[in-house]
Structure 1
Amino acid sequence: MIPLWAFLLVVVIAVAALVGLWLSLTASRLNRLHIRTDAARLSLEGALQARSAVVSAIRPELGRAAGRTTAVALKASDMGARSDSENILLRQLSAEDLVNPALVEASVKVDIAARFYNDAVGDTRDLRKRPVVRVFRLAGSAPLPAYYEAMSVGDGSV
């Protein structure tokens, strides 16, 4: 017969191992979500740069403004500066520009990339809201990603 203290010690060690495994798996999932968010942000940045190139091509006089727009960093924790810059650039386009097939195609790609990015941000933020993630600081020093919100060429708000 095993002594009671030995049995309790085994139970405590087993519970601690299970909690540690669960925390490790949660931290790994959070890391994968941050990687997914970063990849989606890079894809969004590429789509935004491509759209700025199209704007420069169809309206050469906006080339400098498009260059300033792409120079604004697309930071995971602060998407507002780039979003504002994109909105300013899009407001300078005429109604004729907005129906240009190349611009419409580039804008659709931006909208899709933004949707993927915002989905990744939502999943990451949902996991980071959990108390266990905050208490055990499973996110480390990674910044909380921000949503990308900008007007779209096709939504009539330009």
Structure 2
Amino acid sequence: MTLSGLTVAVIALVLLLVVLAAGWAFQTANRLDRLNVRVDLARQALDAALARRAVVARAIAAGMVAGYDDDLIAAGQDLAAAADQAEHAPPSGREQAENRVSSLLARTDTQSRPQGLVVELADAETRIMMARRFYNDAVRDTRNLAERRLVRWLHLGGTAEPPQFFEIIERVTPGSNP
């Protein structure tokens, strides 16, 4: 059996298309994997920034509890409890717990804080803001690629749930109530 030139050309073209499609799928799967790693690293940075703010919040609460005013002591205990709850909250309740910490911090008297704690809190809040933005950017990029029709059809992202955005109030002013 002999193959004509046209048959060989068609087979070569089909093989070329299969190789190109497999290359695209491989490259897309690798890109999705790198994006998922980026999301994981950004989440770790966000968790570290939130943990740092919780430490600062507990230091502020300790200063409040050391006072003689019963309302101030109660507010300090609430702040310390909220910081502990936020650190140990499950992922589904973390946003709400962190918003509560922000709200309680906004209600504290900033004039009576030591200057070191004011600077630490401002730095911690700035780091949270940046970490949250980096994390949400990584989530957006990952979701955009994972939600493409061919990526879903070929299951290039596996069976994992797409990452979720992390939305908290970045800076709470004393007059606002989240």
- The TM-score by the shorter chain falls in which range? 0.7 to 0.9
Tell me, yes or no, if structure 1 residue 68 matches structure 2 residue 85: yes
Question: 1:130 deviation in Å?
Answer: 1.1
- Any idea what SS the aligned residue of 1:96 has? coil
Work out whether residues 102 and 172 of structure 2, in 8 Å CA contact, stay in contact via their aligned partners in 1.
no
Aligned to 1:123: 141
After superposition, the CA RMSD in angstroms is: 2.1
How do 1:1-158 and structure 2 match up within 5 A?
3=4, 4-60=6-62, 61=77, 62-74=79-91, 78=92, 81-93=93-105, 94-97=107-110, 100-153=118-171, 157=176
| Residues 142/63 of structure 1: CA separation in 2 closer, same or farther (3 Å cut) | same
Q: Distance in 1 between matches of 2:145 and 2:137?
A: 13
| Residues 97/72 of structure 1: CA separation in 2 closer, same or farther (3 Å cut) | farther
2:83 partner letter: A
Q: Deviations over 1:38-91 (max 9, x none)?
A: 1000100000000001000111323232111100134xxx5xx11101111222
Work out whether residues 58 and 97 of structure 1, in 8 Å CA contact, stay in contact via their aligned partners in 2.
no
- Any idea what SS the aligned residue of 2:109 has? helix
Q: Identity over aligned residues, as a percent?
A: 33
1:92 partner letter: L
TM-score (norm 1): 0.87
Gaps of 5+ in 1: none
Q: Distance in 1 between matches of 2:170 and 2:10?
A: 61
| Highest RCO, 1 vs 2 (Cα 8 Å, sep ≥ 6) | 1
| Residues 154/84 of structure 1: CA separation in 2 closer, same or farther (3 Å cut) | closer
Work out whether residues 51 and 103 of structure 1, in 8 Å CA contact, stay in contact via their aligned partners in 2.
yes
